[in-house]
Structure 1
Amino acid sequence: MKAMRFAEYGGPEVLKPVEAAEPHAGPGQIRIAVRAAGVNPHDWRVREGQFRRINPIPLPAGVGQDASGVVDEVGAGVVGIEVGEPVFGRGSNTYAEFAVLSSWARKPEGLSFAEAAGYPSVVETAIRIIGLVGVQQGQTLLVSGAAGGVGSAVLQIAHERGINVIGTAGAANQDYVRSLGAIATTYDAGWVDRVRPLGRIDAALDLNGAGVLRGLLDLTGDPNKVVTIADLEAPMLGIRFAGVGGSMPEALAAAVDLIARGKLHIPVEKSYPLTEAASAHADSQAGHTRGRRVLLV
């Protein structure tokens, strides 16, 4: 099969198309013919080697966690899903023509494969980090980097739960942030002073690692009320770094429910052919994303 691999850590250019052996579904897994794969910041951080000290991987290696496609192999012990059904979920090495998923749900009707590939990890992350900061109905959550995939999910899920949200984003994304039910402001110089008059900040999330942690700490007054998914220096300030984890089946079920009720929509900002994964990574690293980027297979 055709797949994207990297043989050394480095920039987007190390990601190359190769012919690779097809994976197969093990117990409790399914294999899909991939139609689309979601591009996450975690993917290019793996490619750069940011996690190699704590989670070394043998090279060459594949990349990608999220995908949508059609089931073509069902592992031992799997029930309730059949070959030929459209699904979306999370697995490993999803930048490929075939991928094995460990968690999945049926693709909601009316959702394209490209759109579906953008949901799994961002919804799981959004639900988990809202829980980690303990923000409750009627309280106010500050979201730094609010226009990206995780931000889009956080804003809508928090709004649906009755949480007030303030979102910082680039100037071009202010209307988009407002459309998701949040108060919007820009994250350039002076952002802390612009946020402060908007009211008490009960909790804060850093989604893009733009050096904002000290400002978030200043606004909340408590490191336990701040979580980052992007700044590896967080422990130095007593702030939690939230990596990949949590209950993906629960998150996928929540996504299906929210989508069905019209409470969650994450747009695809741009799609790329599988072989242009390096360009997708370069664009993702440049920031200013609205919604998601996906690879089409």
Structure 2
Amino acid sequence: MILRRSALGRSTVQVSELAFGAAGIGNLFTPVTDAEAEQAVHAAWEVGIRYFDTAPHYGLGLSEQRLGAALRSRPRGEYVLSTKVGRVLDPAPTTGGDDLAHGFAVPATHRRRWDFSARGVRQSIEESLERLGLDRIDIAYLHDPDDHAQHALTQAYPELARLRAEGTLGAIGIGMNRTELLTRFIRETDIDTVLLAGRYSLLDQSGLDELLPLAADRGVGVVIGGVFNSGLLADPRPGATFDYGTAPAHLVARALDLKSVCERHGVPLRAAALRFPFGHPAVASVLVGTRSAAEVRDTATMLRHPVPDTLWADLKEHGLLPADVPTPKEAG
């Protein structure tokens, strides 16, 4: 099976259109066994995924360890791996307890420390390489620097640029779910990519206001995360999750309307949600968090599901998408 690959902005890094988000195999919310994690990564390879994303934050390093182990037998030149900086892992002074307060079902062996200093960035990259068992990282993202914008701009970014020049990194980016700082980085730095979570989906197109046009103009590649908006677009119903909280009633109703229109065209809502971001030329890949081989295969099936042009037109006619939002063209 082959998934389309494209260059990430002006960089030489080639990413597959579907990316494997590895928070799940870091025991996000519930435990996953080593075998299940390995099977999920192998299933991703089988369906054609060649872009894998992780972070020290995910399971206090467990995600990086498991992803590196599962990819170790694969040719290094055939896949792209990204990790993140901004949270350094320090050994916990006492043992015991778990990390569920941060969302991960792992022992609390370490503590996260926000650190966007040059020294912290280099330490984070060196420790990630050790956990991954690799000698280079293809993409390093500044991870959620919402409250650390100045340090991220003046200390962390220049250090990542030095690491890129040294060849330790192939590309550098920033990842978060708010558009303002991402847009500022595109405008003020020589960044290669941004990872935008939840702000360019069937329910939220705020990324189109400024970020996506500027990225296209500056040649910055965009990876879109959160296309299901934390679950509402995967399974719309009362009590579903939107942006990590309970979805308000008006958004549940809108998601159900989206689902109804999609079903009239014979398209699962998840398939439309996965395909929608590719209507914008700056978007290179959609990143989906998966924790099992079955979830990986299902996501790949949804991405391949045909989505006719008439569906997008119908969504616009019903006021469920703005009239001027770019939409993917059906393959001829």
The TM tier, using the shorter chain, reads under 0.3
Q: Comparing both structures, which one devotes a greater share of its residues to helix?
A: 2
Query: What is the TM-score of this pair, normalised by structure 1?
Result: 0.28
Query: What is the TM-score of this pair, normalised by structure 2?
Result: 0.26
